[in-house]
Amino acid sequence: MLERIFNFLIQISSQSDPINVIKEAQEYCVGLVKNFDPDRYLITLAAPKNTQAALIVLFAFNVEIERILNTVSEETLGRIKLQWWREGLESVFNGKPRKHMVLIALKSILDKFPICHSTLEEIIDAQEQALEKQGLKSFHQLYNHGQRTGGNLFKLSAGFIKCNAQLGLELGTIFALVQLMKSIKVDQLKGRCYLPSIQLNEIESAKAVNVYKTTLNEILKCLPKISSDSSSFSKICYWIVSYDLRFLNEKQSIFYEDREWHLGWRKCLIAMRIFALR
């Protein structure tokens, strides 16, 4: 009986221990990124070991924001949820994070890694604008969206691993744009279209295919050059987007419906590249 009481008291104590709470929050972030953003999860493995946990936390924040767009059916509800995250960020930078695993994890890395509050807010603002489901008129608008989302994310990542911020911004932008080109079917079901000058009801038209191919070529033109002394993080990002752009260009359809064996093979190729860069 006394043993059971002792174990119960230990359990309560461990649950309230700040160290255990932070560890639990970080583990939550790992699972979130691994399940919902597997490419960025793999990319963290190419980063210095002392930065990997922090990168996972940053990417977990991005997953939470992107999931709002993918799960809400009403614009108003999406805005409410995004506003909650804005206020959640404020609580983190004020030193008293709300009781959410990602916010707790963000607070735990603030002292060691440079995180710009306004940059994270811009990611939220860009996704809020996407809630409006207004069509893009030009590639410039598409690029701007990618820059404000994935570009900002990798710019912050560059600060973590102490590499070129501009290169991080450019690589992150291309990374985000390639993801959008791979998710056209999913976005169509959510009532959004990121193809410039294409309306939602035109996605399956010949015009859309032409714009899709043109957009892929424009993305390729914007891909920055990687020098031999670039970080392994930058090199693996470059390899992934280059591989995906080649693959997408070879497909006849604009809808990305990859086979399971190819997804597995692609994952193995990425892992081998990371191993070779170590």
Quote the Cα angle for 167-173-174, to 5°: 95
Residue 145 CB contacts under 8 Å (≥ 6 apart), including other chains: 126, 129, 130, 136, 176, 194
* Separation between Cα atoms, residue 33 and residue 114, nearest integer Å: 20
Side chain identity at residue 215, one-letter code? T
What is the predicted pLDDT for the residue at 1?
54
What is the fold of 17-277?
Answer: Farnesyl Diphosphate Synthase (1.10.600)
Estimate the crossing angle of helix 117-131 against helix 152-161, to 10 degrees.
160
pLDDT by 10-residue block (mean), the chain, 278 residues: 52 54 94 97 96 98 96 93 98 95 97 94 97 91 98 98 96 98 92 94 93 97 94 96 95 79 88 88
Nearest alpha-carbon partner for 153 in 120, 186, 126:
120
> 230, exposed or middle or buried, with CB in 10 Å at 0-12, 13-18, 19+?
middle
For residues 229 and 238, the answer to whether their CB atoms sit within 8 Å is no
Given the structure tokens 């002394």, which residue do they identify?
Answer: 229
Q: Where are the alpha helices (DSSP H) in 37-164?
A: 38-44, 49-71, 75-93, 101-109, 117-131, 139-146, 152-161
203, two tokens:
């996605």
